[in-house]
Structure 1
Amino acid sequence: MNWKNQRRILAVHEQLHRIEVGRLSRLERKARELKDEEARIVECLDGNRNLIALFPEVVLQRLKANIRQQQDLRNEVDRQTEVTLEQAKRVKQAERLVADAQMERDRIMELEELHEVIEHYATQRDFSAP
């Protein structure tokens, strides 16, 4: 593949990586929100004995649902972390391919320049020979 194709591939991988990082951030934010909600529920239970007497089943169900959501979200965060890390590896690999392609391109250009210089001096000698 040529250098331009490698650059396009790198740009695509970088964009995909940004998307995966954004997804991971949203999942982590949701996990923090659920944890905060759990703390508020527990705090409410600790601070208001009347509430416990009035709504024990509702509060308990909400707390259980919150804990289930946290477990599900923790699994999703773990999965998204793996995806994000894999995408980061692809970005690094694409960066290496671009760098390799650039080095090859530079090497070819140097060889072409050297060939032109040799041709130029070889042509000059042909004209200056007696």
Structure 2
Amino acid sequence: MNWKNQRRILAVHEQLHRIEMGRLSRLERRARELKEEETRIVECLDGNRKLIALFPEVVLQRLKANIRQQQELRTEVDRQTNVTLEQAKRVKQAERLVADAEMERDKAMELEALREVIEHYATPRDFSAP
């Protein structure tokens, strides 16, 4: 019964790990999008001097907001990376527990089979029958 419980625990940890990996992937994608937006803003500033004259405050505010969001997202990505790594460790631990439980189950089954063989051959036989 223990190995079945360990298998269930492993399945739960694997599912949680997939969820955390998905979260991390979404955060990393958002970080790339923000970096690309920053690059586009800077390229726009570099390439179009008229735009700078028309919308300097708006562009500057957006650039500052983008940089602030990137910093916040970096912190969140780091946190999510740590959570994901911790969940991966739990999956590995659960896998080891399952393997150990299965090994114990197999040993118990082998011992039971051996006990049955010994009992079979240890039982006195009636050889007087025709």
Q: Do both share a fold (TM > 0.5)?
A: yes
Query: Partner residue of 1:49?
Result: 49
**Percent identical:** 86
Query: Partner residue of 1:22?
Result: 22
What do residues 23-51 of structure 1 show as CA deviations (whole Å, max 9, x unaligned)?
00000000000000000000000010000
Match of 1:75, SS?
Answer: helix
Q: Give the residue type in structure 2 aligned to 1:27.
A: L
Alignment of 1:78-117 (within 5 A): 78-117=78-117
Q: Give the residue type in structure 1 aligned to 2:12.
A: V
Match of 1:82, SS?
Answer: helix
In structure 1, the gaps of 5 or more residues are: none
**Residue 76 of structure 2 corresponds to residue 76 of structure 1:** yes
- Report the Cα distance in structure 2 between the residues aligned to 1:105 and 1:122, rounded to whole angstroms: 25
- Report the Cα distance in structure 2 between the residues aligned to 1:61 and 1:44, rounded to whole angstroms: 14
TM-superposed CA distance for 1:128, in Å, is 4.5
Query: Partner residue of 2:6?
Result: 6
Q: Work out which of the residue numbers 91, 102, 127 in structure 1 matches 2:125.
A: 127
Which structure 1 residue ranges, 4+ long, deviate > 2 Å from structure 2? none
Q: TM-score, normalised by structure 1?
A: 0.96
- Report the Cα distance in structure 2 between the residues aligned to 1:129 and 1:3, rounded to whole angstroms: 44
TM-superposed CA distance for 1:68, in Å, is 0.2
What do residues 51-79 of structure 1 show as CA deviations (whole Å, max 9, x unaligned)?
00000000000000000000000000000
Matched residue count: 128
